[in-house]
Structure 1
Amino acid sequence: MSFNLQLYQETWLKIARIAIINTLSNNIQTIPLRVFDSLTSSNTKLWELIDRGTPTPTAVIALQQTAGKGQWGNSWVSSGGGLYLSVALDIDLDINHSSHLVMATAWGIATVLRYYQLPVTIKWSNDLILDNRKLGGIKIETRNHKKKLIKAVIGVGINWHNPIPNVGINLKSYYQNKAIKSINSLEELTAIASYGISFGYQYYLSVGIEQLLANYLAILNSIGKQVIINNSLGEVIGVTQDGKIKIQLRSPGASSTITFAPGQISLGY
């Protein structure tokens, strides 16, 4: 399987000319991309390149992964046909604000995909959802210095033409019954995802967490979802600024609101 770097660059420049958010000055520069036929993990490879002096921002894509990194230490084989991308950014965040980067990048990628006529939503905290099934996920790793997050590698997996589990969906199957196919290649999808990462972070820096959170909640499909907590019925009612999910518990004659950090509770599909 080959990858056309020129098409990636052309698509990036095309997106950069679009005013997706009118309040954001569009001065985002193209992120250089290195292509590998197979890697154990695109995140791991990108950290290796950074440690050898590769300047950031930069990105790598693996056409296949043999030990991809997921949330909470999970790993898996990622077969050919999917997007396995990692983007490295220099960042400047308080060490306690890593959740802001999670929301910014998830919202940024989803927003650019939505511009391409894909009704993508977000499942808390950072899964990309299409037709109520998982289209992709995000894995963020950071480095810190003196209580500041200074560098991040954002790994993104999006189902393009690859095999998928029952809870998943890929764009090939989504487009089968559609009259219009707005994304036509892996190269275009790569440009959309990498641009979305940088776009989301720059938007957050421009407007702050309150506005970002409002935009994130507007496309979060978890709102209203019912869950059972300690044998009590609860409903998802929002997300806090530090990325915790807010659940309202109801019992006869009373109600209370509790929060959970990512990893403490699973909403399922």
Structure 2
Amino acid sequence: MSGRVAGKLALVTGAAQGLGAAHAALLAREGARVLCTDIDGAGAEATAAKIVLECGAGHAIGVAHDVTDPEAWARVIDVASEELGGLNVLVNNAGIGVAGNIETCTYADWQRCFAVNVDSVFHGCRAALPLMRESAPGSIINISSIAGLIASDTMPAYNSSKAAVWMLTKSVALHCAKQGMDIRCNSIHPTFVDTPILDGTARHHGIDREVLMEKLARQIPLKKVGEPDDIANAVLYLASDESKFMTGAELKLDGGISAM
């Protein structure tokens, strides 16, 4: 195999569509074997099937996976061990958005947001580290958000959950370093990206999707919304040995928003 992550064994959560599907596909194109997981099991299998069609048999597997369930994580790590033969790369990509300001966001929505966005990363790191230690060197890549660094009055649950992912990443990175594990942990912080999640955002605001895209682009100094491969390229870099001296760090892919 050739490529920037040739021979790497990767697990990507939330891989049925959007960013997760892009991460999985690019890692496979660059030589990794990928376990695609999602609560939408059929979607995860469809992503894996597309990768196999493009890259060949054995490059991808798709399984159903509730990232909020620690027992489901144990089963998925067993699949990685048995089907991939180990694990070098964990991409904690699964996440959701929750609308509502501090007065309108319900406690149930707050809990759901933290379960999917934060608890999943906690469970994933805990479950994966023993296998990753055996397969080192390794890289954990947590998908946070620019919303974890810059607040908004309309998304306290999302802001807080993504900020928690940012700081959890640093704690995991320091733990691995101090334990002498050859495992790094970094976070990625995208701004608006053109994925199916924008369909729901457009419906929520009652506007046409293209109008929403133009509105979002105006908020970004580069005046354009990101594309999935813009984020996948960062995942590829962090998954590869090119980033072997990078841990506990954050990559901001925000078109310049945080520079304002």
What TM-score results when the alignment is normalised by the length of structure 2?
A: 0.31
Structure with the larger helix share: 2
Which structure's CA Rg is the greater one? 1
What TM-score results when the alignment is normalised by the length of structure 1?
A: 0.30
